[in-house]
Amino acid sequence: MATACSGSTSEIVSTTASSEPAAAPSTSTESTSVTPVALSCEQAFLAKLNPRQKLGQLLTVGVTGTADAVNVVRESQVGGIFIGGWTDQSLLTAGGVAQVQGAANVPVMVTIDEEGGRVSRVANLIGVAPSAREAAATMTPEQVYGLTLERAKAMKGLGITVDFAPDVDVSSQPDDSVIGDRSYSNDPDTVTQYGDAVIRGLNDGGLGAVIKHFPGHGSGSGDSHTGAVSTPPLSELQATDLVPFRSLVTSGAAVMVGHLDVPGLTAPGIPASISPAAMNLLRTGTGYGAAPFDGVIFTDDLGGMAAITSRLSIPQAVEAALVAGADDALWITTTEVPAVLDQLERAVAEGRLPADRVDASVLRVARYKGALSC
């Protein structure tokens, strides 16, 4: 559902100045010249959206089913919807996605976190896949690529456009811990090889990929669903957790930032998902030896994880994330969308969230989801 931009024009009305003395009043009407000024492709795209709709494009929200999704897209023009385990699957199987896209001014990302193993939302529709840890133990990277490609094509057939996968955390935690068997290995090079295979499989199958959870959840102190999580210091992450991100930020995948307190990087009480320092580390690459990243930065869920909700309301968390440098704020319900947009409009009006930063993020998201070809 990609739409290509074409140049459009605006008009500037000008009058010709003269160095001659002013002439006597005349009863004739002087003509004016109209000069068309071409808008760039990006300017033309942005001109289609009013300020509140631009802010809506930076939100991805969980939906309960078709009616919920259509309503939030029609009313708020959110940029993405999220399919969770609670979502009525008729959205995917009975024409619901087409209804959602029909309500949108800009094509909507239809996102899911289909990792395989215990994090699987549509295994009943597309078939099962092993956990990351089991896959690395029993399959080659190319076999994982093949399986991912097959499942990506099946997801695309359901209308899904983005998979929040692969998980490239480096971990030796027990299988049933928060990361555990979602990690391919405790060896960063192995994680990188399998992560690359999944990214290629998703992309070749027509889906966007998202690597997570920057800067690395694999050796964190707990579960960000239930409370604050601290990682080892940034200096220790360099040789382990950050290795897959360092290698894969040039793969074309987006990046999801986790709710992680990182000594030597984040300020006290400010997890990476709302930390300007963490966003800057990812965006510039300076400080962990990576290439600059100009792709989309997603937050982890801002509404259902105590590492954030114990500190901030959803509107506050969304503002903090976008001000810090994220492009797309994710949470799992639609009811807060109007309040979030009100909060963001105030943040722009009061100068906390610069309008040019909003425009840059809108363009990044649009390119990532295929809505902008320039």
> What's the pLDDT tens digit per position in 292-329?
999 999 999 998 877 798 889 999 999 999 999 999 99
What is the band of 47 on the pLDDT scale with cuts at 50, 70, 90?
very high
Q: Which of 88, 223, 225, 359 is catalytic?
A: 225
Catalytic annotation present for 300? yes
pLDDT for 31 equals 43
Q: Per residue in 171-199, pLDDT tens?
A: 999 999 999 999 999 999 999 999 999 99
> Given a cut of 80, is residue 59 above it in pLDDT?
yes
What domains, with CATH codes, occur in the chain? 50-368 (3.20.20.300)
What is the Cα–Cα distance from 169 to 269, expressed in whole angstroms? 22
Mean pLDDT in the chain?
90
Q: Per residue in 136-161, pLDDT tens?
A: 999 999 999 999 999 999 999 999 99
**CB 168 within 8 Å of CB 187:** no
Once rounded to an integer, what is the mean pLDDT over residues 334-361?
Answer: 98
Once rounded to an integer, what is the mean pLDDT over residues 331-349?
Answer: 98
**CB 248 within 8 Å of CB 211:** yes
pLDDT for 25 equals 42
Q: Which of 68, 300, 327, 328 is catalytic?
A: 300
Give me 337's structure tokens. 């969308």
Once rounded to an integer, what is the mean pLDDT over residues 201-209?
Answer: 98
Give me 38's structure tokens. 């071409």
> Given a cut of 70, is residue 2 above it in pLDDT?
no
215: preceding bond cis by omega (within 30 degrees): yes
> Given a cut of 70, is residue 35 above it in pLDDT?
no
Strands (E), 253-317: 254-257, 297-299
Q: Per residue in 80-135, pLDDT tens?
A: 999 999 999 999 999 999 999 999 999 999 999 999 999 999 999 999 999 999 99
Task: Annotate 23-80 with DSSP letters as a single string.
Answer: PPP-SSPPP-EEEEEEPPHHHHHHHTS-HHHHHHTTEEEE-SSHHHHHHHHHHH--SE
H or E segment to which residue 208 belongs: strand 208-214
DSSP designation for 22:
P
| Number of CB atoms found within 10 A of residue 94's CB | 12
The percent helix, strand, coil of the chain (3-state, each to 5) is 40, 15, 45
Residues with Cβ within 8 Å of 269's Cβ and at least 6 positions away in sequence, in order, are 261, 311
> Given a cut of 60, is residue 207 above it in pLDDT?
yes
Give this prediction's pTM. Answer: 0.89
